[in-house]
Amino acid sequence: MSKYYLAVTYDVCEHQSLYQDMNEYPINSADNFVDKVKEFAQHDIAPVVKIYESYSSKFTDLKLYKEYTFKEYECNCENEGRF
């Protein structure tokens, strides 16, 4: 049985209580997950990227496979406006 993978980028801001999904990207199981996830995070400026796995190409019944965090894309709104 084949597994299918879907990366989802998230916009996160603790100060504004924001945790919102942005985009979804199917990933080929032969791809290097780390490189692909970095690419998605950079493209969306996303501090969190989660990879879900499914046994269906329609991505039904998703299960969290792995979560990646990127400090360089974290919200900086707490420091905005300060001099």
- 19-28 residue pLDDT tens: 999 999 999 9
Q: Indicate the range of 25-34, 48-57, 71-80 predicted with least confidence.
A: 71-80
Q: Centre a 10 Å sphere on the Cβ of residue 67 and count the other Cβ atoms it contains.
A: 13
* Full domain range(s) for residue 62: 4-73
Our count of domains for the chain comes to: 1
* Distance of alpha carbon 77 from alpha carbon 8, whole angstroms: 23
Q: What is the pTM of this model?
A: 0.86
Q: Is residue 42 part of a domain?
A: yes
Q: Is residue 33 part of a domain?
A: yes
Q: Give the CA distances from residue 80 to residues 4, 60, 65, 76, in Å, rounded to whole numbers and listed in that order.
A: 40, 40, 34, 7
Q: Is residue 79 part of a domain?
A: no
Name the residue with tokens 């995070």: 41
Pure H helices in 1-83: 33-44
